[in-house]
Amino acid sequence: MNQLFPKWTNRLPAVATVLAVLGAPTLVFMVWYYFSPWYLEVGYAPDQPVPYNHKLHAGMFGMDCRYCHQNVERGPHATVPPTQTCMNCHVQVKKDSPLLAPVRASFEALAKGESDRPVPWIKVHMLPDYAYFDHSVHVTAGVGCISCHGRVDQMEVVRQEKPLSMGWCLECHRDPAKHVRPVSEITNMNYRHDEALAKKLIAAKKINPPTHCSACHR
C-alpha cells in the first residue's frame, strides 16, 4: 500500500486542519508569500551564451570586480564588460576553446569594423522601470557588492541572491549600519563587518538613505 500514495500525502490531513482552523487569511498569506519576489526571483540563474565563471576569474584568480564592471563607481549601471576585456587574456589563454566561440565571433566582428555585436549576455537582475536605482551612490557610500549580490566570487553561474523588492531596499535604508564599510573594501568578499566602524562612517559622511516615495519613484 505504501507505494500507492507518495509520502508527502501523509501531511495533507495536518495541512487541511491548519487551513480549516485559521481559514482564508492563511490562504491569502500563503499565496502572497509564495508569489512575492522572494520566491519568484531569488535563485534566478539563467544559462549564459558563454559559461563565464566568476568562481574561477574573481574567486581563484582574484580579479577585482571593477576590472570588468567598470562603471559601478561612476554611474547608475555597473555594466557587463565589453568583449575586449575578455580578449585581453583570451587572445592567448584558451584561445581555441569552443566555449569562447561567441566571444571570438563578437571580437572578429568588431575588428572588421562591423557594427557593435556584443556577446548576448542574459540579464540576471532586473528592477521594474518605475524604480530608480544607482550603483555609484551605493558603493561610494560604502555598501559592498556582497550586501546585494552575495558571494559572487563563489558562483560558477551568477544567481540572484536577494529579492530586490521594495521591502528589501527599505530594510537597509532604515538601518544601514549593518552594511556600511570603508569604500576601500566594497569589492572585498571576505571583509568582516564592524558595526561600530560603520556607525562612525555613517556619522562622518552624513549618510542618510532616503525612505520617501519620490526618492525611488521619480
Q: State the Cα–Cα distance between residues 156 and 165, nearest whole angstrom.
A: 25
Q: What is the Cα–Cα distance from 199 to 204, expressed in whole angstroms?
A: 9
User: Least distance to ligand HEC from the beta carbon of 28, Å?
Assistant: 15
State the cell numbers at 39.
520566491
Q: Which residue's C-alpha cell is 549576455?
A: 121
Asked if residues 54 and 77 have their Cβ atoms less than 8 Å apart, the reply is no
Contact residues for 182 (Cβ-Cβ < 8 A; gap 6+): 142, 197, 201
Asked whether the CA dihedral 50, 56, 61, 62 is positive or negative, the reply is positive
Nearer to ligand HEC, 63 or 197 (CB): 63
C-alpha cell recorded at residue 191? 571583509
Q: Does 69 bind ligand HEC (CB under 6 A)?
A: yes
Q: Is 133 in the site for ligand HEC (CB under 6 A)?
A: yes
Q: Rank residues 1 and 196 by Cβ distance to ligand HEC and give the closer one.
A: 196
Near ligand HEC by CB under 6 A, which window of 7-15, 16-24, 105-113, 132-140?
132-140
For 29, 130, 131, 135, 211, the CA distances from 214, given in Å and listed in that order, are 28, 11, 10, 18, 9
Region 10-39 residues binding ligand HEC, contact defined as CB under 6 A: 37
Stretch binding ligand HEC (CB under 6 A), from 5-13, 104-112, 137-145, 190-198: 137-145
Site for ligand HEC in 80-119 (CB under 6 A): 80-81, 85-86, 88-90, 93-94, 97, 99-100, 103
Query: Is position 176 an interface residue for ligand HEC (rule: CB under 6 A)?
Result: yes
Query: Considering the rule CB under 6 A, would residue 78 count as an interface residue with ligand HEC?
Result: yes
Q: How many other β-carbons are positioned within 10 Å of the β-carbon of residue 17?
A: 10
Stretch that binds ligand HEC, among 12-20, 64-72, 106-114, 193-201 (CB under 6 A): 64-72
Distance CA(28)–CA(7), nearest Å, equals 26
Among 107, 187, 198, 201, binds ligand HEC (CB under 6 A): 187
Q: How far apart are CA 149 and CA 183, in angstroms?
A: 17
- Nearer of residues 8 and 61 to ligand HEC, judged by Cβ: 61
Print the binding letters for residues 143-172 with ligand HEC: x by CB under 6 A, - otherwise.
x-x-xxx--xx----x-----xxx--xx-x
